[in-house]
Amino acid sequence: MIGRGELNLLKMENSTKFNQEYYDRNVNNNITKVHKNGHKNGVNGKNGNGHIQDDWKKDFHESFEETPLVAAILTYLCYFVMVVIGYIRENFRYYGLEEDKTISEPKLEGFVPLYQSWESFYTRNMYRRVRDCWNRPIASKAGPYIDVLERKSEDHNWHLDITGKKLNVMNLGSYNYLGFSENTGACATSSIDSVSQAGVGVCSTRQEYGYSNIHKELDTVTAEFLGVEAAITFPMGFATNSMNLPCFMQKGCLLLSDELNHASLVLGSRLTGATIRVFKHNNIKDLEKKLKTAIIEGQPRTHRAWKKILIVVEGVYSMEGSIVRLPEILELKKKYKAYVYLDEAHSIGALGPHGRGVTDYFGINPKEIDIMMGTFTKSFGAAGGYIGGSKTLINYLKANSHSAVYSCSMSPPVAKQVITSMKIIMGQMNGNDGLRRIRQLAWNTRYIRRRLQEMGFIVYGNKDSPVVPVLIYYPTKVVALSRKCLAEGLGIVVVGFPATPIIESRARLCLSASHTPEMLDKTLELFDKFGTELKLKYSKKSRIADYREDDSILIS
């Protein structure tokens, strides 16, 4: 196995020959020996150093690093101890030696219990002890600073009570990528105006009387923003996936889904009735292998040809911070005549020189993608989702989407927020404010990533992804970091099992264009301090980043 230092040294020499060897030896093995998260254990360095030295690959830096062995063992041990203690205390509670504070189901004679007793073992014994790190209520907009309502517990988090005190902390947890979560300014004003013009609710479906001129405007602006022929919008991002995937795929179709796809895509896929096959995260070789076998072998048992094949991927993966290898996926799409469904929940607005998402980032014509899906929750500071594509596709959805027929359309003020923020990003309003935000976000992203890497943290994902996962591994340290940060005025998101693999608990920073350099420095300072204190700087990789934030020219 190649050492990390060696790899980086060679990288600096930019030896194509070596890269080829490295690729053959390691990346090609990926198919058989892949780590659960989709990147090979042991060696990763840059996923982009493939043998085809296309332009985009030169600038495609994704970093992943293997869990250090000691950390892995100790993390398992950590969970083991928690399970043992939990088990002992469960028994204590069962025999009445410890007061049972769980709100458990009363015994109803003859009824099958609603939950298995072991079902919530993890919730009761582990999650409960640390649950103050999640669901923190706030009493302000989700802007660069938030007012977190302080919560106290007298009984080890069985009950959490709001004390009434507000903690004004820096917010690196919300998906406010372009900083449009604002209560003043053009977006808020237009939303406020639309309340009196069109009301708050709609009370009807799109096919009945829930389609107003605001919705029509939103559809048009979205299509223009995306650069596609037409678009349709829905009031909830999650439902956009789960309610529309069944419109495209039926029995006899094949869905190839990335293993780290969001729950809404998984649910939507399940509701289609089509066959679902999962490929390894962002692993093109594995995808190609599965595509090829699928077409050659046809449907299982009958060997009938598949009706259609849909590749379902996301633009930016929210837990890994990785960016989809879209150019290669499109090559496969052409070669094998598959369709592509691209979920841009985290990438629309946040990626690309014009903020148009992952297609913009790679310089690909969005019309090459069959189904462009995304949400308004993140970059646009609103709520809802869209689907963009050809006119035929959108007309079909207008007539057949579950949402268009059976449920409410978008609230006018929310729609207005999207319209205004999109216009700002496109430069049709507020001068170059949109571009300023895009550039600032790109700068902030690289700056934080570079500095964290220099400090020795293990940071996952692409250098341009505003989702920055910092690996912590130990569930205990995760909680300690979250609490310490909050106490020092920094709100971050931490994620552990079951949202991540058991040995890959992490903290996640979501950057925003509204973060000032001072805020970022303060954040880094805190991370540096706690990183040393809690011994979180695991990285054995070179601490020299091979990208700089200066590439993004700021507009003041």
Partner 1 sequence: METLPATWDMYDLFQSFLRTPTYHLIVEVCLVLLIIKLIFSKSYKPEKTVLSEKEKDELIAEWTPEPLVPDIPEDHPIIKLMEKNIVTGPPGKYINIRNKSCINMATMNFLGMISNKTIEEEAVRCIKKYGVGSCGPRGFYGTMDVHLELESHLAKFMNCEEAIIYSYGFATISSAIPAYSKRGDIIYCDEGVSFAIQKGLAASRSEIRFFKHNDTEDLERLLIEQQQKDKKNPKKAKVTRRFIVIEGLYLNYGDICPLPKIVELKWKYKVRIFMEESFSFGVLGSSGKGVTEYYGIDIDEIDLIAASLENAISSIGGFCVGKKYVIDHQRLSGLGYCFSASQPPLLAAAATQALGILEKDPGLVTQLKENCLRVHEGLNKIEGVQIVGLPFSPVKHIRLVEPSDDRDLDIQTLELVADRSIENGVACTVARYLEKEEKFLPPPSIRIAVNCQLNSTEIDRVVTVLNDSFNQVFSL
Which residues between 205 and 244 bind partner 1 (CB under 8 A)? 205-213, 216, 235-239, 242-243
**Site membership for partner 1, residue 290 (CB under 8 A):** no
Single out the residue of 47, 171, 275, 359 in contact with partner 1 (rule: CB under 8 A). Answer: 171
Decide whether 10 or 511 has the Cβ nearer to partner 1: 511
Contact range with partner 1 by CB under 8 A, out of 44-52, 69-77, 127-135, 431-439: 127-135
**Site membership for partner 1, residue 69 (CB under 8 A):** no
List, as own/partner pairs, every contact residues 495-501 make where C-beta atoms lie below 8 angstroms and the sequence separation is at least 24, other chains included: 495/319, 497/79, 498/122, 499/319, 500/319, 501/36, 501/37
Residue indicated by tokens 């009493």: 139
How far apart are CB 396 and partner 1 at their closest, in Å? 4
**Site membership for partner 1, residue 347 (CB under 8 A):** no
Cα gap 284→414, rounded to integer Å: 38
**Site membership for partner 1, residue 429 (CB under 8 A):** no
Residues contacting 68, CB < 8 A, separation 6+:
473, 538, 540
Decide whether 75 or 264 has the Cβ nearer to partner 1: 264
**Site membership for partner 1, residue 366 (CB under 8 A):** no
**Site membership for partner 1, residue 302 (CB under 8 A):** no
Count, residues near partner 1 per rule CB under 8 A:
121
Q: Which letter, b or e, does each residue of 13-50 get, where b requires 16 or more Cβ atoms within 10 Å of its Cβ?
A: eeeeebbeebeeebbeebeeebbebbbbbebbbbbbbb
Q: According to CB under 8 A, which residues from 486 to 525 bind partner 1? A: 491, 493
Q: Which residue, 36, 17, 40, 16, is CA-closest to 27?
A: 40
Single out the residue of 262, 446, 451, 541 in contact with partner 1 (rule: CB under 8 A). Answer: 262
Written as one letter, the residue type at 435 is L
Contact range with partner 1 by CB under 8 A, out of 61-69, 152-160, 184-192, 450-458: 184-192
Decide whether 463 or 515 has the Cβ nearer to partner 1: 515
Written as one letter, the residue type at 98 is E
How far apart are CB 513 and partner 1 at their closest, in Å? 13
**Site membership for partner 1, residue 535 (CB under 8 A):** no
Single out the residue of 374, 413, 475, 496 in contact with partner 1 (rule: CB under 8 A). Answer: 413
Residue indicated by tokens 């090609």: 28
**Site membership for partner 1, residue 143 (CB under 8 A):** yes
Cα gap 394→397, rounded to integer Å: 5
With beta carbons less than 8 A apart as the criterion, state whether 282 and 310 touch. no
Single out the residue of 15, 55, 134, 487 in contact with partner 1 (rule: CB under 8 A). Answer: 134
Cα gap 324→340, rounded to integer Å: 12
Single out the residue of 64, 380, 457, 460 in contact with partner 1 (rule: CB under 8 A). Answer: 380
